[in-house]
Structure 1
Amino acid sequence: MKSNYLLALLSAFLLWLAWPPIPYTAILLLVAFVPLLIAVEQTIRGDYKNKGRKVFALAFLTGVVWNTASIYWVYNAMNAFLDAMPSLLISLIPYTLAPLLMGLAFRLYYQMRKRNSILISFMGLISFWVAYEYLHQSWELSFPWMTLGNGFANSHQLVQWYSITGVYGGTLLIWLVNIALFLFIWQKRNKIEAYSNKILMGAVAGLILIPSIASLIWYSQYEEHVNPSEIVTVQPNIDPFGKWGPITPEDQLNVLTNLSQKVAKLNTEFFIWPETAISDRNGINEEEFREYPQYQKVLQFLEPYHNGNVLSGIESYVLYADQRTPTAKPIGNMFYDSFNAGVLVDGSSKLQFYHKSKLVPGAELMPFGKALSLLKPFFAHFGGTTGGYGSQDKPSVFYSASGIGAAPVICYESIWGNYVAEYVKMGAQFIAVITNDGWWGDTSGKDQHLQYAKLRAIENRRWVVRSANTGISAFINQRGDIVQKSSWWVPTALSQEINLNENLTFYTRSGDLIVYICLLTGLISIGLIFVRKRN
């Protein structure tokens, strides 16, 4: 059994080595699960007790090592606020939760194998895996950072077909190739041929070459429709850990306007400022924002730019006469909701607000309410409100006076392909990602976040303008190329003429069809577990 655990560790190592931001290694995803599948098959065919538990343990081991190695920066961020032990305890949630679901997928696969053929069982495994990834982007403990299809972010030239399938197309491809290779290797090792080895290798070649060649042709021939707009993105480099220490909200606004003016042109239409760029020590009342000096400062800044708009993050709140939302908290005889929000300010008196919807579990959202209330003192140190931020259910598109639609995607939300596509369906002609990646320090977390934005550009064929407080800010074109980017921890502003796009891709229109198909086949697979095998 020890050799099986070593094979599981080998899979974990290959998955980590293939994961962004390590360059040129994404192809390893196509073989990374083969050692684990061999270990599972040897366990199923071996003379062991409690085989189901051992299969679960093998998959869990692979998952927890892969996840921990790839998102170690979660502990890095926690450790900046807490002592080592509380930091480790909280970090165990993202490190182990997804692996537990991975282990469950393999445990169900084992149950299928006892009653069904290996090919039907593999259909079940793929369905269970996709269902796990979908659950992990849908429930209150959502963390879709490690969705398999994200692994191709460093090789965006090869996945231009994400504009049809989204990242779940990548997940499906990875599993199909790994399964075909496993069957080929297993049959060679055991000198059997239940399935034609030529067909298996032909399938592997076809699954790899056809999408890759088609993607490279698509990439080389793709031309953007010319519809220019001048955009500025700003990286003020305000230390999130020392905020409101030596720098005041007024000073922060001065940094933003000064950096913007250095690269702005008279025809600049959008200035993109990062998450929580506009703020006040006590928060900003949205209904009274026009009376704040910050608002007047932004209007004054925009005066030279006839069509100028500032799209910025803002720390805001709204007062209610009663507790009309689950997250509203009492203040005197009233209630209020705090928001991690976006705002669009133009030269008129019109204001547009968007309240972040995909909240970070623990930092911005207390998952499952009372069930995890004991963790509130820990989560409070992660830059959020333990009672939970308020949010809105659907995305909003900001429209300039000239009619340009911009998607105000706040930080963590950029990981959801289906959610970003909703902005585009509502009329967004480019995607503005406003974020503050300084919590993670100079780790691979900030690089992964940048790389994933390339996939959103491909899925929707929209430019992505990324404004990150401490880095990395960037412009990404409709093919997923990073056209410009800033350095880490350097205050700067970048200017770029982008092309707006109004056309909708198949993925934007149709969403995650692969998920819905796999959920259906997953239900069928669950049913097959309980069907008695015929002699």
Structure 2
Amino acid sequence: ILSYGVYWLNHYKPKEGPTVCMVQGNIPQDMKFESNEEDEINILKQYTDLSMSVKGTPIDLLVWPETMVPGLLNIDPELTGRKIDVLSQLTPIQLSQELNTNLLLGGIALTLAGDEQIYFNSAYYYNREGKSDGCYDKIHLVPFGEFTPLKNYFPFLTKLVPYKIGLTHGRHRTLFRLDTLQHESFDFGTSICYEDTVPSLIRKFKKDGADFMLNITNDGWFRDSAELDQHLAIMVFRAVENRFCMARAANTGISSFVSPDGAIYAKLSDSKGKYREISGTLIGRIKLVEKYNPFYTTCGDWFSILCVAALGIMLIMSVVKGRIVCQKVTEPK
């Protein structure tokens, strides 16, 4: 394994891919959690202003973190009667056209099923004309953070969830097609929040044909803590396992780019070197390698499963062997 790693790194020669801009607004979770209409408009304005600050810079994709669009993007605003929904739906059109770029924006999706309202944690994709070009609904939700497990059997558990409404699991992985200013095309997927801690999900995106992956997250829950560093470190493993570039837009940090060899080659920080709980934009090029499915992408966790199975067999054999030896020692001669 070590020899293979050395060989791969010696032959690692990535090429420059699409230019991506990560927007980090540093919105406190307290403001998002108990926001009124004025707060929501301010959040939208802050992210819009940060996005407009890169006007004139050629970029292929601009990314907002998880749930940073405060309004609903997939429902006719006339049905809700909310000003924030109107503003939220006008914003992607304005940004994509003025910046001449594609957009990936994190927001909440609402689906009406009869009298029932079904909510999803989603990523919306828009082309350069501002037209919606697909959506991904988060598949792996955080228990007691986004939904209440077994709430039909234990209703009191709903009191442990911070939101009055629960989210619903998405059912399908989505690949988005990115057409660049250099007239190239790439397919990419996105994970939302802690989905980059799920190796099997990222692996399936790679098998689906993703050239690179994005992660949009709101780590504002954890303020200026080591969780932000730990979350980024986990993403490094996903990049190495699947041999592709991963980049992330995080509301309070740490927005960054990770290359297929696991190197964090770009990270948003301020003039003092602070990289948590700051706002700004980070522009970088996606690093690409020859497209193929490495061992982990192809085989998944079978190697580790076999190792655990072999260890279990050896433990059982040692116990059995020990008992046999003990019986022989205690037998009368």
Same fold at TM > 0.5? yes
CA distance 1:362–1:494, change in 2 (3 Å): same
CA distance 1:503–1:247, change in 2 (3 Å): farther
SS of equivalent residue, structure 1 residue 471:
coil
Aligned partner of 1:376 in structure 2 is 158
CA distance 1:301–1:459, change in 2 (3 Å): same
Judge conservation of contact 2:65–2:105 (CA < 8 Å) in 1.
yes
**Greater strand content:** 2
What is the CA RMSD across the aligned residues, in angstroms?
Answer: 3.0
Q: Post-superposition shift, 1:523? A: 8.2
Unaligned regions of 5+ residues in structure 1, if any? 1-160, 162-210, 322-333
Q: Post-superposition shift, 1:420? A: 0.8
Greater Rg by CA: 1
**Residues of 2 paired with 1:289 and 1:431: CA distance?**
31
Aligned partner of 2:140 in structure 1 is 358
Aligned partner of 2:90 in structure 1 is 296
Q: Give TM-score, length-normalised by structure 2.
A: 0.80
Aligned partner of 1:423 in structure 2 is 205
Find 2:266's aligned residue among 484, 493, 510: 484
The aligned runs of 1:35-74 (5 Å cut-off) are none
Find 1:392's aligned residue among 170, 173, 196: 170
CA distance 1:277–1:515, change in 2 (3 Å): same
Output the amino acid matched with 2:286. I
**Residues of 2 paired with 1:454 and 1:277: CA distance?**
24
**Residues of 1 paired with 2:191 and 2:77: CA distance?**
21
1:343 aligns with 2:134: no
Judge conservation of contact 1:232–1:264 (CA < 8 Å) in 2.
no
CA distance 1:496–1:264, change in 2 (3 Å): farther
Find 2:113's aligned residue among 317, 320, 328: 320
**Residues of 2 paired with 1:230 and 1:410: CA distance?**
20
SS of equivalent residue, structure 1 residue 238:
coil
Q: Post-superposition shift, 1:318? A: 0.6
1:241 aligns with 2:30: yes
Write out per-residue CA displacement over residues 53-74 of structure 1, whole angstroms, 9 at most, x where no aligned residue: xxxxxxxxxxxxxxxxxxxxxx
SS of equivalent residue, structure 2 residue 124:
strand
**Residues of 2 paired with 1:320 and 1:285: CA distance?**
17
CA distance 1:359–1:495, change in 2 (3 Å): same
Task: Count matched residues.
Answer: 304
**Residues of 2 paired with 1:228 and 1:472: CA distance?**
22
**Greater helix content:** 1
Judge conservation of contact 2:108–2:122 (CA < 8 Å) in 1.
yes
**Residues of 2 paired with 1:265 and 1:228: CA distance?**
19
**Residues of 2 paired with 1:214 and 1:406: CA distance?**
27
1:219 aligns with 2:9: yes
Indicate the percent of aligned positions where both proteins have the same amino acid. Answer: 26
CA distance 1:247–1:287, change in 2 (3 Å): closer
The aligned runs of 1:165-176 (5 Å cut-off) are none
The aligned runs of 1:67-466 (5 Å cut-off) are 211=2, 215-216=5-6, 218-224=8-14, 226-243=15-32, 244=35, 248-263=39-54, 265=56, 267-280=58-71, 284=72, 286-288=74-76, 292-306=86-100, 308-321=101-114, 334-346=115-127, 347=129, 349-370=131-152, 372-377=154-159, 379-381=160-162, 384-385=163-164, 388-401=166-179, 403-466=185-248
Compare 523-532 and 292-301 and name the one that shifted more. Answer: 523-532
1:496 aligns with 2:284: yes
Judge conservation of contact 2:21–2:61 (CA < 8 Å) in 1.
yes
Output the amino acid matched with 1:354. Y
Q: Post-superposition shift, 1:524? A: 6.1
Judge conservation of contact 1:232–1:493 (CA < 8 Å) in 2.
yes
CA distance 1:531–1:506, change in 2 (3 Å): same
Unaligned regions of 5+ residues in structure 2, if any? 79-84, 269-274, 328-333
Judge conservation of contact 1:263–1:495 (CA < 8 Å) in 2.
no
Judge conservation of contact 2:147–2:161 (CA < 8 Å) in 1.
no
**Residues of 1 paired with 2:7 and 2:285: CA distance?**
25
Judge conservation of contact 1:465–1:476 (CA < 8 Å) in 2.
yes
CA distance 1:237–1:246, change in 2 (3 Å): farther
**Residues of 1 paired with 2:266 and 2:256: CA distance?**
5
Aligned partner of 2:298 in structure 1 is 509
Write out per-residue CA displacement over residues 309-334 of structure 1, whole angstroms, 9 at most, x where no aligned residue: 1111101211112xxxxxxxxxxxx1
Judge conservation of contact 1:314–1:341 (CA < 8 Å) in 2.
yes
**Residues of 2 paired with 1:264 and 1:482: CA distance?**
26
